[in-house]
Structure 1
Amino acid sequence: MPDITPHRPPAPLLQRLLICFGVAALGLALYATMAGGPVPFVGQESQGAALAGPAFAMAAPLAWVRRQPWPILAVLLAQTAGAAALGLRAEQIWPLFPAGHLVVGLVAATRAPRAGLAAAVVTLAVQETVLQLDLFRDGGWARVLAPGYLGLTTCLALAVLFAWLAGTSVRQRREYGEALRDQASAQAVTAERLRIARELHDMVAHSIGVIAIQAGAGSRVIGSAPEQARSSLQAIEATGRETLRGLRHMLDLLRQTEPEREPSLEPAPFAGLTDLDRLVSTTADAGVEVEVRRRGVQRPLPTAVDQCAFRIIQESVTNVVRHAATQHCRATVDCRPRELLVEVVDDGPGRTATPTPNSDYGSDYGYGYGIRGMRERVALLGGSFTAGPRPEGGFRVAARLPLPPTAAAPAAWTPLTASTAEAP
């Protein structure tokens, strides 16, 4: 059975070099300070050479401090207390003090807040005890309470406090960065879900509306006008195939997790203002005449603006087909130097200021997702959006989309004449 136990990746070379340097520095510092005074367990004649082994042995545990900071801190504190119990002076083992402070900072930076606080308290207690006992052994309370040694005691406490605060600051910055990344990821997921919801709604709602109208018309005339019923069925088939192709493309993009995977052979269903002729044609088949008016200078548009303008017109026309109870609406596209204005109006009596739970008035009235999706699209581009009943009757949808000084798009607009069709 293969070994599936996760292995810790090797530490970077720089970290290993720093750890080796720290071990060597602590060993040399201990050797130098221990040699500055008598060592009870080493003979006076061989004291210099014999101290090298114990000094570097005491420093060796630092090699594992990155993986096990708590045990290494316990070892350093035990060494401090043991050396003092064997008769070494505080000035002979003082390098163990800053080494303990560094480990306190590491514990506070990499472990839970309680663990860091406990490490600081234990370290301060052990080091202060060793220092005060050494002072008391030399001169009693007079030496302990001397102003200079009180200052040394305060400095030792401040050093432990500083190490704990530094480690806590590092941990808090890391946790804050992780929280920001998690929040950004959550926002990205939410934005993507909303985008997919808008695309699905815009792609399916219009097609389903056309299919429903054509199916109803075909069922009413299937006995009396077979040719008209056949035309309705052909429109249903064409609309269904187009919607299925778009859904397959979207699902293919959503399931594509490998960058090197070949894309779908089907063309991407990009929808822009150049597709208005198709929209007018399918809407005419559903029995609604769409009059398209163009104003301003026709020029290439940014892809996002082009697609947003088309989706607004498509969703508005779909609502006219489904709810307005009229056979005519007007779509106006006004391209100005700094903005693109899109407006869709109808004069049907089907939509009033009092919505029903099945209507698609959007967030302005508390029902549906169509107008809500249009509002979100416009907001993402920094524009403004309004939708609501007109005083003279009917419904109006208007959007203002800002344009950069020089706009570029895959293709320029194509001339389009208004299409008309009688209701089937």
Structure 2
Amino acid sequence: MADTAALPAPMPGRGRRSPLASRLRPWQRIAVDGFVALLFLVPFGSPRPHGPVTANPWLSLLVVTISVAFLARRRFPVTVFLLLTAGTLALAASPAPYNSYQPFAIMFALYTVAATRSGKVTTLAAGGILAVALVVLTAMHTSPSTTVLSAAAVAFAPAVTGYAVRQQRLHHEALAAEQAGKIEAEVTSRLAEERLRIARELHDVVAHALSLITVQAGVAVFREHEASRMRTTLASIEETGRTAMVDMRQLLGVLRGTPAPDSSGPTDLGPVPDLLDIGTLISQTAQAGLRITLREEGERRPLPTAVGLAVYRIVQESLTNVLRHARTTTGSVLLRFEPDAVTVTVANPPPPDGLPPAPPGPPGHGLRGMAERTALFGGTFTAGPAGDGGFTVAARFPA
């Protein structure tokens, strides 16, 4: 059996390092947010030009509260955004030094909302910040142009940046999901191909051996008074069974990846059957009473191992079908080596005069398996009744 092919190569660029923000650990994120929150408090520790100002404990508590709430912006972006907006608006309407609390905390929170929430939520949040900024800046008696530009910068800069980051992340997630889907489909396809290979090998090995054993056992029933011929038939049955066991052992060894030691025989997997083993195969069927002639045309040349195995299995399954269904004791195998292809043809004549054709049995997998083997190598396969009433199987493998 062929080894399973490698999985698809990763998409270009997948080996690149992710952005720094996505590589930070949770405690590192909290540390960064804590440092930023402390920067928001710097203006309150600066000396005042008009001397000390009486502190308001409630407003001081509000400053500390919204600064601590800022640390939770990644976990509760919308809630923290609303709290920071309300707190910053209240401080803007308060006396000095509390009115020096800048809108940077709101901008960070708006960026987080835009990067984690839908476009509708981002639009509402940006619109709310724009309205609040216009009101506050107008109350500070700034010029109209400064008011509009500053309000737009506070509202739209973090919203647009966060929205762009969110779209990029969604794009990367979509690409990752698409790649994962392709890999899953490829793995499923490879598994299906492996199951088909295993089914074909099991069918060809087991069906052929059981057909030989069944025919020989049926003949042995009528030789109960011929001890020597009875012993010959039983020895042939034993040999067929041992050969089938060896084939099964080889197949299971390939599936397991390592050969299983066996005290009754060698531990290696053994050679894969090919064209040279077709003669042995025909000799085995002769013991079951089927006389097959083997003929070659053209100059024999080495074939790939997989192609040689496919030709061998097609001959094996065809002879099995002759034993089971043809009701004849003769047949022929033709191997034709052409310059650009190799062709195998297995034919059997019609049943002798007066012998009715075999009744149709349940549909099997033999012909389908042979067609699949041929298609794997880009070849052509035909099987059907011949002009003389017999049956012909032909497979052509391109060189």
Q: State the TM-score, normalizing by the size of structure 1.
A: 0.69
Alignment of 1:338-349 (within 5 A): 338-349=340-351
Report if aligned partners of 1:287, 1:327 keep a CA contact under 8 Å in 2: yes
Residue number among 307, 321, 324 corresponding to 1:322 in the alignment: 324
Distance 1:180 1:394 in 2: 47
Distance 2:109 2:70 in 1: 12
Report if aligned partners of 1:89, 1:134 keep a CA contact under 8 Å in 2: no
Q: Which residue number corresponds to residue 86 of structure 1? A: 91
Distance 2:229 2:246 in 1: 26
Secondary structure class of the residue paired with 1:192? helix
Q: Closer, same or farther in 2 for the Cα pair 1:355/1:321, shift >3 Å?
A: closer
Larger Rg: 2
Distance 1:282 1:89 in 2: 102
Q: Which residue number corresponds to residue 162 of structure 1? A: 164
Distance 1:308 1:228 in 2: 35
Q: Which residue number corresponds to residue 298 of structure 1? A: 300
Alignment of 1:169-248 (within 5 A): 169-223=171-225, 225-248=226-249
Residue number among 276, 281, 284 corresponding to 1:282 in the alignment: 284
Distance 1:45 1:337 in 2: 98
Which amino acid in the other structure matches residue 334 of structure 1? R
Say yes or no: does 1:251 pair with 2:216.
no
Judge which range, 229-238 or 20-29, deviates more: 20-29
Alignment of 1:143-158 (within 5 A): 158=160
Distance 1:372 1:308 in 2: 13
Report if aligned partners of 2:327, 2:358 keep a CA contact under 8 Å in 1: no
* CA deviation map 1:382-415 (0-9, x unaligned): 1111111112221111111122xxxxxxxxxxxx
How far off is 1:18 after superposition?
Answer: 5.6
Report if aligned partners of 1:77, 1:123 keep a CA contact under 8 Å in 2: no
Secondary structure class of the residue paired with 1:298? coil
Gaps of 5+ in 2: 1-16, 50-62, 93-97, 262-266
The alignment of Structure 1 onto Structure 2 pairs a total of residues equal to 350
Which amino acid in the other structure matches residue 184 of structure 1? E
How far off is 1:22 after superposition?
Answer: 7.9
Secondary structure class of the residue paired with 2:232? helix
Residue number among 361, 372, 387 corresponding to 1:358 in the alignment: 361
* CA deviation map 1:324-374 (0-9, x unaligned): 111111111122232211111111249xxx996515xxxxxxx21001011
How far off is 1:268 after superposition?
Answer: 3.4
Report if aligned partners of 2:292, 2:330 keep a CA contact under 8 Å in 1: yes
Report if aligned partners of 1:61, 1:72 keep a CA contact under 8 Å in 2: no
Which amino acid in the other structure matches residue 251 of structure 2? M
Distance 1:280 1:262 in 2: 28
Say yes or no: does 1:129 pair with 2:128.
yes
Report if aligned partners of 1:101, 1:163 keep a CA contact under 8 Å in 2: no
Secondary structure class of the residue paired with 1:385? strand
Q: CA RMSD in A?
A: 4.2
Q: Which residue number corresponds to residue 58 of structure 2? A: none
Report if aligned partners of 1:81, 1:126 keep a CA contact under 8 Å in 2: no
Q: Closer, same or farther in 2 for the Cα pair 1:402/1:86, shift >3 Å?
A: farther
Distance 1:59 1:18 in 2: 23
Distance 1:97 1:157 in 2: 8
Q: Closer, same or farther in 2 for the Cα pair 1:357/1:22, shift >3 Å?
A: same
How far off is 1:311 after superposition?
Answer: 0.7
Report if aligned partners of 1:342, 1:398 keep a CA contact under 8 Å in 2: yes
* CA deviation map 1:4-58 (0-9, x unaligned): xxxxxxxx998589638988887887777887xxx5xx154079xxxxx98xx77
Report if aligned partners of 2:122, 2:159 keep a CA contact under 8 Å in 1: no
Secondary structure class of the residue paired with 1:398? strand
Q: Which residue number corresponds to residue 384 of structure 1? A: 380
* CA deviation map 1:89-125 (0-9, x unaligned): 89944476367546754x5xxxxxxxx53xx544543
Distance 2:22 2:321 in 1: 69
* CA deviation map 1:220-251 (0-9, x unaligned): 1112x222121111111111111122223323
Judge which range, 187-196 or 150-159, deviates more: 150-159
Q: Which residue number corresponds to residue 333 of structure 1? A: 335
Distance 1:98 1:148 in 2: 18
Secondary structure class of the residue paired with 1:86? helix
Q: State the TM-score, normalizing by the size of structure 2.
A: 0.72
Q: Closer, same or farther in 2 for the Cα pair 1:185/1:382, shift >3 Å?
A: same
Distance 1:25 1:192 in 2: 52
Report if aligned partners of 1:30, 1:93 keep a CA contact under 8 Å in 2: no
Q: Closer, same or farther in 2 for the Cα pair 1:167/1:18, shift >3 Å?
A: closer
Secondary structure class of the residue paired with 2:222? helix
Secondary structure class of the residue paired with 2:293? strand
Q: Which residue number corresponds to residue 9 of structure 2? A: none
How far off is 1:199 after superposition?
Answer: 0.6
